[in-house]
A and B are shown apart, each in its own frame.
Chain A
Amino acid sequence: MVMDAAPPRITVKNLDMSYGDFVIMRDLDFTIRRGDIFIVMGGSGCGKSTLLRVLVGLKEPAKGQVLYQEGSLWEVDEDSRDAILRKTGILYQRGALFSSMTLAENIAMPLQQYTRLPAKEIRELASLKLALVGLAGFEDFYPSEISGGMVKRAGLARAMALDPDILFFDEPSAGLDPVSAHLLDELILEIRDSLHATIVVVTHELASIFAIGNNCVFLDVETRTMTASGDPKELLQNTTDANLRHFLTRGEK
């Protein structure tokens, strides 16, 4: 169990996000603590993927700050930002595997860039990562030759390539069968507990939210802001917000 005393890993302050003049979300304020499995939830199109893009430095916020332990992501210089981001791994919503490389090459690429390991060992690490997500033996397949759920899992393996300190997963279990989804939840918990990583997960999967999440934020598509944050299990017990209640109970009353 993660204690409240765990130091903050990422703090989001007063964050507004917009595309041009179209404001997606305003006034986001929350803290992701070290060792959290932090769930970002909300209706489709409310801006969860956009929030991840802001957190990993792909999109500049309209207003506000993203404070990593090492500094403010949008205020430090380029080199420090690279250094911060090198400790993160990202699974994109659509996998974003490099289509002209095999799965093993996809995972090996960051290792070749950032380490001096010999080719044989890099290959071994790639196999290990694939084995962890249940894709042992698929090293030499191209992304176009595997199924949608497998693309998701391979993307996850690539996100873990450099043993990052913080992992961002955009809907990791979308497209997976219940058994694989459960295995994935186990894997996420295991990564947190064994490698002491901090994990941010965008998901709609209620079972996962309650099984793995120990902290969360709910983005409300109607009010265009966050309406709740904290432990999802406690939120389910205590919330008075009708939209959140609806979300957490699948629309049942």
Chain B
Amino acid sequence: MTKKPISQTPPLAACAVTRDGGAVRVALAGDWRMGATIPDVQAVAAALQGSEKPASLTFEAAGVTGWDSRLLAFCLRIMRLAEAAGVAVDTSGLPEGAGSLMDLAVKVPERKGAAKKETAESFLERVGEVALGIGQAVGNLLEFLGEVTLACGNLLRGRAVFQRSQLALLIKQAGLDALPIVSLISLLVGLILAFVGAIQLQQFGAQIYVSTIVGIAMVRVMGAIMTGIIMAGRTGAAYAAELGTMQVNEEIDALRTFGFSPTEFLVLPRLIALVLMMPLLCIYADLMGVLGGFIVGSLMLGINPVQYFSNTWQSVPLANFWIGLVHSTVFGVLVALAGCYRGMRCGRSALAVGQAATSAVVTSILAIIIATAIITVVCNILGI
């Protein structure tokens, strides 16, 4: 959205260049404010670079009716040109005030070498940079994991330093506060599974097995995956944004100078909170999913409620329940680590915080899917 420009009809500014012996005279006239159309410095540049080098450049501004920093920018450009050509400039002819502002602008010399140069990179250079970047990212990740492992070691020896009250709050945020959304989504997933199953099973008159399908699917993986994804979007992103903002405000540096380990102080409680809460949420999601299946089973398929539950109970092996819990514990670790890692490595700008939150979610979901695949293969090999 572009707001209305300050002026509609552009007033005119004029600049006449005359050569007077060894001196170039730049006569300015008209309106030189924000809305004006101003001439370019071509004429002045031509006069400066003429065959005969002028000795000096003077300004004249009798005809100027109004000006602001645009006039200054214009004159500054001329001064730079003159400087490059080795011509002395006299600003005394500029409007009252403009001359002294110009002097102020050139008073502190430009920091040479401070300005960044855009350099064109060759293809090979870019490939090399990407490769180095990947190497560095892997190094960073390993370093982070190492720090977390050390922190966990300290925790086991009872020497980790963090605030217990903070931990309680994090547990509440990750557990209790997530219940409504977990309820809704798992219930819906249960409903959907039951629906999809029912259509197929009805053809064989085997509706009662809807309870088996929903039960096994929810308890074994779906409950854990759904909570994992919800927590990735909810809590993982929040961790990244929170730690990222602390990074921006130098709060993490402050922690460090107080002698606290940011990993122990910030990462550990978040990790604990999620590792404790994820399995509980997963059990809760299992129940909600089964409830969803039950709604479809009893209302749509007319299965006897008691029969539905007893069938679920009998047909879902207990091993599935444990597998589901293993999934969710692993997901808890992954989501917490991804969120905290992105947050701790965040840059120092609002944009970087946004990127940290986004990549925390992407990383967690990717990790969840990969972990699921690995656990499934392992279970297959072990025959459970």
Interface residues of A (CB under 8 A from B): 86, 98-100, 112-117, 121, 124-125, 127-129, 131-132, 134-144, 160, 162-163, 183, 186-187, 190-191, 193-195
Bound complex: CA of A128 vs CA of B97, how far in Å?
A: 15
State whether A98 touches B350 (Cβ < 8 A): yes
Which among A98, A134, A191 has the highest number of chain B CB atoms within 10 Å? A134
Q: Is the interface of A mostly helix, strand, loop or mixed?
A: helix
A136's partner among B34, B73, B109 (CB-CB below 8 A) is B109
Bound complex: CA of A113 vs CA of B2, how far in Å?
A: 5
In the complex, which residue of chain A has the Cβ closest to the Cβ of B10? A116
Residues of A close to B104: CB separation below 8 A: 132, 186-187, 190
State whether B35 touches A115 (Cβ < 8 A): yes
State whether A114 touches B111 (Cβ < 8 A): no
Tell me whether A138 and B114 are in contact in the complex, defined as CB-CB below 8 angstroms, given that A100-B349, A125-B69, A131-B76 are known contacts.
yes
Tell me whether A136 and B110 are in contact in the complex, defined as CB-CB below 8 angstroms, given that A113-B2, A121-B73, A128-B69 are known contacts.
yes
Tell me whether A144 and B347 are in contact in the complex, defined as CB-CB below 8 angstroms, given that A128-B72, A136-B108, A187-B104 are known contacts.
yes
Residues of B close to A163: CB separation below 8 A: 33-34, 68-69
State whether A139 touches B100 (Cβ < 8 A): no
Bound complex: CA of A114 vs CA of B34, how far in Å?
A: 9
Residues of A close to B164: CB separation below 8 A: none
Bound complex: CA of A144 vs CA of B100, how far in Å?
A: 32
Min CB distance, A90 to chain B, in Å? 17
Min CB distance, A163 to chain B, in Å? 4
Given contacts A99-B352, A138-B111, A140-B115, 11 further A-B contacts (CB under 8 A): A99-B348, A99-B350, A99-B351, A100-B350, A100-B351, A113-B3, A114-B34, A115-B34, A129-B69, A136-B109, A137-B114
State whether A128 touches B110 (Cβ < 8 A): no
Bound complex: CA of A129 vs CA of B101, how far in Å?
A: 10
Min CB distance, B5 to chain A, in Å? 5
Min CB distance, B258 to chain A, in Å? 20
State whether A195 touches B347 (Cβ < 8 A): no
Bound complex: CA of A77 vs CA of B163, how far in Å?
A: 50
A190's partner among B70, B97, B115 (CB-CB below 8 A) is B97
Interface check B256, CB cutoff 8 A: no
